[in-house]
Chains A and B, each alone.
Chain A
Amino acid sequence: DAGVTQSPTHLIKTRGQQVTLRCSPKSGHDTVSWYQQALGQGPQFIFQYYEEEERQRGNFPDRFSGHQYPNYSSELNVNALLLGDSALYLCASSGTGAPDTQYFGPGTRLTVL
Chain B
Amino acid sequence: DAKTTQPNSMESNEEEPVHLPCNHSTISGTDYIHWYRQLPSQGPEYVIHGLTSNVNNRMASLAIAEDRKSSTLILHRATLRDAAVYYCILSGYNFNKFYFGSGTKLNVKP
Contacts and interface: CB of A to CB of B under 8 A. Distances in A.
Nearest to A31: B95
A96 B101 CA distance: 25
Contact of A45 (B43, B98, B103): B98
B6 to A, nearest CB: 10
A56 B42 contact: no
B42 A107 contact: yes
A18 to B, nearest CB: 24
B93 A99 contact: yes
Most chain A beta carbons < 10 A, residue from B43, B44, B95, B102: B43
Interface residues of A, number: 29
Given A41-B102, A42-B102, A50 B95 contact: yes
Interface residues of B, number: 26
- Classify the secondary structure of B's interface with A: loop
Contact of B49 (A31, A33, A43, A99): A99
Interface in A34-72: 35, 41-45, 48, 50, 55-56, 58
B34 A101 contact: yes
Nearest to B102: A42
Given A41-B102, A42-B101, A42-B103, A100 B96 contact: yes
Interface of B: 32, 34, 36, 41-46, 49, 51, 85, 87, 91-103
Given A56-B95, A92-B98, A109-B41, 20 more contacts: A33-B98, A41-B102, A42-B87, A43-B44, A43-B98, A44-B100, A45-B98, A56-B96, A90-B43, A90-B44, A92-B44, A98-B93, A99-B34, A99-B91, A100-B92, A100-B96, A103-B46, A104-B36, A104-B43, A104-B46
